[in-house]
Chain A
Amino acid sequence: EAGVAQSPRYKIIEKRQSVAFWCNPISGHATLYWYQQILGQGPKLLIQFQNNGVVDDSQLPKDRFSAERLKGVDSTLKIQPAKLEDSAVYLCASSPLGQGVNNEQFFGPGTRLTVL
């Protein structure tokens, strides 16, 4: 089966610009996650969707970050305006609804963002 797809793979922008990342989860996976992984740290959950509803966005900086999953399939994460500290790899993951929260997550290759 096809894995989690993300685009672009790399993005370089200047501070105060906006950027958007796209994710297409594994077909049939109800739960979609966006993580931020800063160099030398583990992934930090930004937002978790179940179908097209938000389950958790407690760590999403809502003044500049937004995410949507309108049709319950693919998702977009946007940063507007970007700051230097947003430089990181943005990971998308998905998991089936099946057994609930004990399901493992399947990760995409990530988008490496550099903010200059």
Chain B
Amino acid sequence: AQSVAQPEDQVNVAEGNPLTVKCTYSVSGNPYLFWYVQYPNRGLQFLLKYITGDNLVKGSYGFEAEFNKSQTSFHLKKPSALVSDSALYFCAVRDRANAGKSTFGDGTTLTVKP
């Protein structure tokens, strides 16, 4: 069965500092990996995805993520955090071999302090 782990419930960083939100996954076939963000009282929004090719993927709002096959990880990063980045972040995996079924992690709350 496929699964996603986000080991940190909460990540706190100071504005201007780099941020990392961690994600590891387990899937039998080739993974398609996604990051979504959920702002208060708003629906989930797509940030970026890894399908194939370059291990470093760039997405919306200056975010990027690095796919590491050997460590089965897909950590979300940003070089310089903004207060407006404070939100709930979800990692998700889809397995092409499993009809594309989506599995989400339980989310990480990012708080960026001024």
Contacts and interface: CB of A to CB of B under 8 A. Distances in A.
B29 to A, nearest CB: 10
Nearest to B46: A104
A107 interface: yes
A79 B9 CA distance: 30
B43 A109 contact: yes
A35 B92 CA distance: 13
B49 interface: yes
Given A102-B32, A102-B51, A45 B103 contact: yes
B39 to A, nearest CB: 11
A43 B45 contact: no
B101 to A, nearest CB: 5
Nearest to A43: B104
Instruction: Indicate the size class of the contact surface on chain B.
Output: 20 to 34
Interface of B: 4, 32, 34, 36, 42-46, 49, 51, 90, 92, 94, 96, 99-107
CB-CB nearest 9 A-B residue pairs: A101-B100, A42-B104, A104-B46, A107-B43, A107-B44, A102-B51, A42-B106, A102-B32, A109-B43
17 contacts: A3-B43, A40-B106, A42-B105, A42-B107, A44-B104, A45-B101, A55-B100, A56-B99, A56-B101, A100-B100, A101-B96, A102-B32, A102-B51, A102-B96, A104-B34, A105-B102, A109-B43
Interface of A: 3-4, 33, 35, 40-45, 48, 55-56, 58, 91, 93, 100-102, 104-110
Given A45-B101, A91-B43, A102-B49, 4 more contacts: A42-B107, A91-B44, A101-B94, A101-B100
